[in-house]
Chains A and B, each alone.
Chain A
Amino acid sequence: MSWKKSLQEMPLHIMLIPGVILTLIFSYVPIAGIVIAFQNFKPAKGIFESKWIGFENFEYMLNMPNFTSILWNTVFIAVLKIIAGLIVPIVAALLLNEVASAFFKRTVQTIIYFPHFLSWVILGGILIDILSPSSGLVNQFLGLFGFEPTFFLGDDRWFPYTLVISDTWKHFGYGTIVYLAALTGIDQSLYEAAVVDGADRWKQTLHVTLPGMMPIITLMTVLSLGNVLNAGFEQVFNLYSPMVYSTGDIIDTFVYRIGLIDAQYGVATAVGLFKSVISFGLIVLSNKLASTYAGYRVF
């Protein structure tokens, strides 16, 4: 009785119609628009009239003098962020787990999650102020220990690290949620058994807690692989300036400048596509690794 089953499924199809239509227009049409990466795109002519030029935009991209440094900046910043973004939340979760006072634990959690919910515009405003070399709180504090004022956001040696630290600061509290959840899932009888065997808290952490967290740590590590070319557009865009382009300019900010500011649509789309294809490959790879090593399939 297939028609009866189809009739039963009808409401489910109807529920999906609005979402499908909007996704088609706003996600799939832009994907089709990627063809302009292979065109000498002129907005006046549009996609159908613009001249096809094959891989010329990509050749142009690879021959740009600053392309290598932009690629390097992106990978460098992203990888440091990934590493810090894994370690700090794990440590925070382990430390929070040792806290007996429910009030203290809850208060700390509430406060450390909070920066995650503020925009990079707001945090940019705050960071520009507190990192200011003349009147900022951070330099005043470091001054107490005899450090010379540092222009964290205007010095190209410091800029990448300032990005990594502030990004970790914004997100580590939120990241601990995942690990705390994993900690609550560990079988309590394992701890009891460890105590019977004479293990102290440190040994318990080493032999029960960490192995218990291993699957989720592996999973998060593998999944972060897909972000190797995502150094964080919103953050960089709000904190960088021409002074730090040499170490702070990343693929996404570069696409914005050559695309929307200089109106080189074809080249900007080619650079964006280059990034998307590599990221897509990394995501597929990491999904495969996740299913092999963590027994978890995202898709």
Chain B
Amino acid sequence: MHKLSMGRKVFLVVNYTLLFFAALACILPLINVLAISFSAKAAAAAGYVKLWPVDFTLSSYQYALSKPEFLDGFFVSVERVALGFGVNMLLTVLTAYPLAKERTSFRTRHIYAWFFIVTMLFNGGLIPTYMTIKETGLLDSIWALVLPGAVPVFNVILLMNFFRNLPKEIEEAALIDGAGHWRILWQIFVPLSLPAIATVTLFTVVHHWNSWFDGLIYMNSPANYPLQSYLQTIIITPELNAVSGNELLDMNEVSDRTFKAAQVFLASLPVLLLYPFLQKFFMKGLVMGSVKG
């Protein structure tokens, strides 16, 4: 064990402190909101709540969970995540596999590749996209939230790069043993690509759970809003919604602030729960998919 120089010691102390505060800065706002959500109305309004609930109460949560709009939004979101996840993952895998082939074994690969890449570089923009959804009759349907983003090109590229880094010999051996492309894809490539698939799963689920703008513009009826779109209307632009004002004044223990905090926390809960499970994969998955090793 060699001795650390004085300068090195000072640096390490400063370094650990800086990183500690950086991490703190990322988590304190969330803890603050969580504390407010569990606090009584008066304490929250007076600004007494910092990082620990004051006059602990669950009434904001009871109120949030008793609101039909909140629960409806929650179930629309769950439906969206399930459908979106299924469609996205199937199409990501099906698209990435042929694109991972060399041009010698798939002669039109480059045409398909450009066909998809163009959509990353250029798009119709807000109005033409909106009108397309309208013309296809998808407005007000859950499919308006699922089909337009059915092929997530970024994820396809990630998985494609992962497929390309798999040893070529496995595929050759399988071909010699008489396996076709479908069997190679599902029984060899997919099982070998679990880190990349876990990464893409996290991206897909989080994307669908977090999306709010498409719900806001493609759903005519607020009853069809996913949770985040509903929250957007009541948390961000309360003046558009009559609910937040008068109705809440009747509540004895819940204020606008504690109620919003509870909903913010409930809406981030699924991500909070999913994140630790998939987080350990995504470093590996992302790095292997993007940086060619």
A30 B16 Cβ-Cβ under 8 A: no
What are the residues of chain A within 8 A of B276 when measuring CB–CB? 110
Any B CB within 8 A of the CB of A256 = yes
CB nearest neighbor in A for B122: A280
Chain A neighbourhood of B181, CB < 8 A: 11-12, 15
Q: What's the minimum C-beta distance from A154 to chain B, rounded to whole angstroms?
A: 14
**A137 contact from B50, B106, B257, Cβ within 8 A:** B50
- Tally of A interface residues using CB under 8 Å: 85
Q: Is A16 an interface residue (CB 8 A)?
A: yes
Known: A23-B115, A137-B50. A114 touches B26 (CB 8 A): yes
Q: How far is the CB of B215 from chain A (nearest CB, A)?
A: 10
Chain A interface mostly: helix
Residues of B within 8 A of A255 (CB): 125-127
Q: State the CA gap A11–B185 with chains docked (Å).
A: 11
Instruction: Tell me the count of chain B residues lying within 8 A, CB to CB, of chain A.
Output: 96
Produce 1/0 per residue, B246-281, CB < 8 A to A.
Answer: 000000000001001101100110010001100100
Q: Which of B110-141 contact A (CB under 8 A)?
A: 112, 115-119, 121-133, 136
Q: Is the CB of B124 within 8 A of A135?
A: no
Query: Which residues 224-263 of B sit at the A interface, judged by CB distance below 8 A?
Result: 228, 231-232, 235-236, 257, 260-261, 263
B124 with A34: CB separation less than 8 A: yes
Interface hits, A117-161 → B, CB 8 Å: 117-122, 124-130, 134-135, 137, 140
Query: Chain A residues near B268 (CB, 8 Å)?
Result: 118, 122
Q: Does A98 contact B (CB under 8 A)?
A: yes
Give the interface of A toward B (CB within 8 A). Answer: 5, 8-9, 11-13, 15-16, 18-20, 22-23, 25-34, 36, 43, 92, 95-96, 98-99, 104, 107-108, 110-115, 117-122, 124-130, 134-135, 137, 140, 169, 173, 177-178, 181-182, 185, 200-201, 216, 233-234, 237-238, 252, 255-256, 259-260, 265, 268-269, 272-273, 275-276, 280, 283, 299
Task: Show 7 residue pairs from A and B whose CB-CB distance is below 8 angstroms, ordered by the A residue.
Answer: A23-B151, A29-B128, A31-B123, A32-B124, A114-B275, A125-B231, A129-B260
Besides the contacts A18-B94, A135-B46, A216-B291, what 5 more A-B pairs have beta carbons closer than 8 Å?
A26-B147, A36-B127, A108-B19, A108-B20, A178-B291
